[in-house]
Amino acid sequence: MSSKAVAIMVSGRGSNLAVILEAVAVGTCPVDVQLVISNKADAPALNIARQAGVPHVVYLNPKDYEERASFDAACADLIDKHACQWIVLAGYMRILSSFFVRRFVGRIINIHPAILPAFPGAHAVEDALTYGVKVSGCTVHLVDEVLDGGPVLAQAVVPVHDDDTRDSLHARIQKEEHRIYPATLKRMVECGFTIVGRKVVWNTKT
């Protein structure tokens, strides 16, 4: 199994997937995207993956499985079949089962549109605006069994303007997502890290 082999799980339009694949194409993100899995048949991300030449692009219908764990098991079997070291969530809108998280502990990466631990969950941008914060941003983190609760790999901060809407703030956050997600994946495969308590300690590049 190559330390650079990646599976990316998607549900939507695939903006972060596109940025990662573009970075791979130009040589600034040295991961090897072997597999893209979607739980949505009409996800634009699937076409992005196909057009980029990802070797294995798969749609799995959750309705074909009796429960979440069995669907996740099918996803996990595909990931192992294609020898993927890392699982990258890029707009994947299903909560992963405990079974899946334990099977790939320390190997699942997500990006969240807030400065965790503030504003976890599906409405992070709206929640930040409602709370009245003056800065927000995004967090790349490892996935554990607590929603948006895993150790932090990277964060970026953006200002919150008085006239911001959900869309305007989200657009500003996404610019930073598109910058730090490929950069974090690059660092992950080139340097690696260890976990001390909750803290990610990046290894020195040799």
- pTM assigned to the model: 0.95
Closest CA to 125 of 174, 72, 180: 174
> To which CATH superfamily is domain 110-206 assigned?
Formyl transferase, N-terminal domain (3.40.50.170)
Which residues participate in catalysis according to the annotation? 112
| Domain locations along the chain | 1-104, 110-206
Tell me the CATH number of domain 1-104, given options 3.30.450.260, 3.20.20.210, 3.30.70.120, 3.40.50.170: 3.40.50.170
- Residue 71 in tokens: 């669907």
The pLDDT assigned to 125 comes to 98
The pLDDT assigned to 205 comes to 65
The pLDDT assigned to 109 comes to 98
Question: Low-confidence residues of the chain, pLDDT below 50?
Answer: none
Same fold, 1-104 and 110-206: yes
Instruction: Give start and end residues of each alpha helix (H) in the chain.
Output: 15-26, 44-51, 68-81, 98-103, 124-131, 166-190
The dihedral over CA atoms of 113, 144, 181, 95, expressed in degrees to the nearest 10, equals: -60
Cis peptide bond upstream of 62, omega within 30: no
The pLDDT assigned to 3 comes to 87
The pLDDT assigned to 204 comes to 83
Phi, psi dihedral angles at 175 (to 5 degrees): -60, -40
The pLDDT assigned to 1 comes to 58
The pLDDT assigned to 206 comes to 52
